[in-house]
Amino acid sequence: MRIVYRMVDHQSDPTPRATVVMIIDAGVGINRGRLRYEVEHLHYLPNPAGEPIHQSFISEERLHTTSWGAAGAGLELLVWAAATGAGGIIGGAAWDGLKAIALRIRNMHGLAFDSQPLNGQDAQHRALQMARAAWPDLGEPLTALSCHLDGDTATVALRAPDGSTFKAQPTMTASDAIGPIIRAYPDPPAQTGQS
């Protein structure tokens, strides 16, 4: 299961200010309706009475099912939340909410919570998953440029074939990863003047 949560300025410009990707290797049934409701309400802000105030967002759900030999399914939720409502993803309500959703799914299904010893290979694998979830049209191969480990969190730099670079910071447990990812596009080629 993947959730890609983007903070954007306006629906006509989907270029994200910030992106958080959550990947859960659940291997178990998920209540899609409940999950979608929870994710779509992450950036609601309380009014003075404590009631949620609707903030602008767009969401899309993708379900992939395979029934060819071993059967399986994958769920992907994509959310573009208004920057005015999100108030920043990292350290904000959406970030805390996504972490709470991952914890709820882990607890409900008895998934492993204890961190495995984090190694560079696992961190790079999760960073590649995060990049492909956020930007599915990247092409192959994505190249890992660097990987720095700090407890259960890593900072991984990647490069795509078009020259884009990525900084992914997955925080990982045995069954999931969540973290911000930033894409920097290459500078366009300089135009030469003709005389």
Contact between 108 and 24 (Cβ < 8 Å)? no
Q: Are 138 and 155 in contact (CB under 8 A)?
A: no
Instruction: Considering only the C-alpha atoms of the chain, give the largest distance between any 2 of them, rounded to a whole number of Å.
Output: 70
Q: Is 157 left (phi over 0), alpha (psi -120 to 50) or beta?
A: beta
Give CA separation, 136 vs 34, 128, 142, 148, 163, in Å: 25, 11, 12, 25, 15
What pLDDT score was predicted for residue 86? Answer: 45
Both ends of the chain: CA-CA distance in Å?
56
Whole-model pTM: value is 0.77
C-alpha to C-alpha distance for 1 and 182, rounded to whole angstroms: 20
Predicted pLDDT at 94: 73
Q: What digits encode the pLDDT tens for the residues 77-125? A: 888 887 764 455 555 667 778 888 888 877 776 655 555 567 888 889 8
**How far apart (Å, rounded) are the C-alpha atoms in residues 155 and 167?**
7
CA 97 to chain centre: 13
Domain ranges of the chain: 2-184
- The residues of the chain scoring below 50 in pLDDT are 85-86
Label residue 50 exposed, middle or buried (CB < 10 Å: 0-12, 13-18, 19+): exposed
pLDDT of residue 175: 73
